[in-house]
Every structure is written in structure tokens, then in C-alpha cells.
Amino acid sequence: MTFPARALMVLLLGLAVMYVPTFMRLAETVWSTDEQGHGPLILAACAWLLWDMRASLFSPSNRPAPGPALALLAVSTAIYVIGRSQQVIEMEAGSFLLTLAACILLPCGWTGLRKAWFPLLFLVFMVPMPGVLVQALTMPLKSAVSVVAEQVLYWAGYPIARTGVTLTIGQYQLLVADACSGLNSLFTLEALGFLYMRIMNYTSKVRNVILGVLIIPISFISNVTRVMILVLITYYFGDEAGQGFMHGFAGMVLFGVALLLTYGVDRLLAARFDEHGGARGER
């Protein structure tokens, strides 16, 4: 049973009417910050993934499931209305996941929804993190980054000391700000790791889980490297250098180190899993 093209266009139009204003609001607020700037990339990647699997989703063998789809749509609409009316952007944006799932379930049925599980899961990284969660995680991460950066540089022979999350090296003091906690880079790198695993299409679930978990320490190591680079730049070239172009350059180094470590870990996992049915599968 196929889904009428005209009905599909109406469905997509309704989705756009509901959520284009939400995306515009996100673009003007949350997505315009360094912390959540990856949101549009996540949305674009999800759209590409769904487009890439369109033939499979709209296979004639997939049977529409209007009943469950409408029930799920009612729930997502309620969440959307509450989030929109109360200005809770996390609820408003989060409802998009359920609404999109309902829009897939309606024409493509349960089979299509199962096939689209990854793009839907991937969209979680687009939703802004609740402020309470950010506050709860930021301080411990800042403290851990400060401690490790201080110890490594002290072992390397640099005159460095730490008070809380403030690092003192030579005549300079550097505060490890919230942006340097690594929470944002962790979220972004985890999303990139998921996308990498999807593109590589590894058949071993164990391998994917291990790589996904290891991205957490990889992100931490990369962020510590970034902080140490900023400390050393300030020590050798002064405050202006540390807060100017080099600050942005250190951010690029973070992602460069993370990508190299991720690829290195992936190659180590390949030595174990490729010989036991963990190589790339057919798409």
C-alpha cells in the first residue's frame, strides 16, 4: 500500500509551518552561540540521511500506520504547544523528534520507523540541553580539566599553580571558563562519532558501542590539550595572544586532536573486530 504523494506534501507542509519558526528562534538564540552552534549541522545531516534512505522508507511493502501515528502526533503537538506557549525552547525543539517520528510512521509504518531509527536518534543532539543539566555538569568538568592541565604542565617543568578553576602560570592568571569545560565539545564530538559510525556502517554493535563510549575520554583529552595550548600561548606571548586569534586556533586544535584520536581508536578496534564480523556492511 503506497501513501499518496499529495498527502505527503501536505504532511511536509504542516511540519514546516510548525517548526520553521522554531528553527528561526533557535538560529537567533541558542544556535548562534559557540555552545550549541552544531544544531543546524545536526538538522542538515538528519535531512541528508532521511533523503538517502527515501527509497527504502517508501517501499511499497511498507504499510502505513495511521492510528499510532495520530496518537504520537497528538502527544508531540501537546508538548510543542506547552513549550511554545511557555517559552521552553527545550520542549518546543524536542517535540520535533516525536512529530517527525509520527510523520514517518503515518506513510511508512512501523517498518519505515525502524529503518529511520538512526536519524531520529541523531536529532537528540540538535535539542538544546536543559540549563539545569548544563550547570550540574559544567563545574565538575571545569575542575577536572583544570586539575589535569595543571598536573601535566607541572610535570613538564612549568611554573604553574591552581586555585579552584583559575590557573596561574608565571605572571599570568587564566580562568577556565564554562566554554572550556568540554561539555559542548563532548556533545558535538559524540554527534560526529555517531555520524561517523553511521557512514562507516560497521556491522558489530559491540564495536560501535565501544567507540561511542570512548569518545567521552577522547573529548576530555582533547579539551585538556586545548586548555594547555592556551596556557602556554599566554605564558610565552601574553594575554592578548591567548585571547585573540590563537584562542580560536586552539579550538580547531581540539577537534583536530579528537578526530585523530577517534580514527586511531577506530583502527585499533578494526584489528580486533574486522576479523570477527565487525567490518563494514552493505548499505
Please say whether the beta carbons of 269 and 262 come within 8 A: no
280 in active site: no
Mean pLDDT for all residues in the chain = 84
What are residue 159's phi and psi, to 5 degrees? -80, 80
Angle between helices 89-115 and 66-85 in degrees, nearest 10: 160
- Catalytic site residue from 46, 103, 180, 207: 180
Tell me: the pLDDT tens digits for 64-110? 888 999 999 999 999 999 999 998 999 999 999 999 999 999 888 89
Within 8 A by CB and 6+ apart from 209, the residues are none
Catalytic residue among 84, 226, 272, 283: 226
HEC assignment per residue over 232-246: HHHHHHCHHHHHCHH
Q: Which residues of the chain are under the pLDDT cut of 70?
A: 1-4, 34-35, 178-182, 241-251, 274-283
226 among known catalytic residues: yes
pLDDT tens profile 124-159: 888 887 777 777 778 888 889 899 999 999 999 999
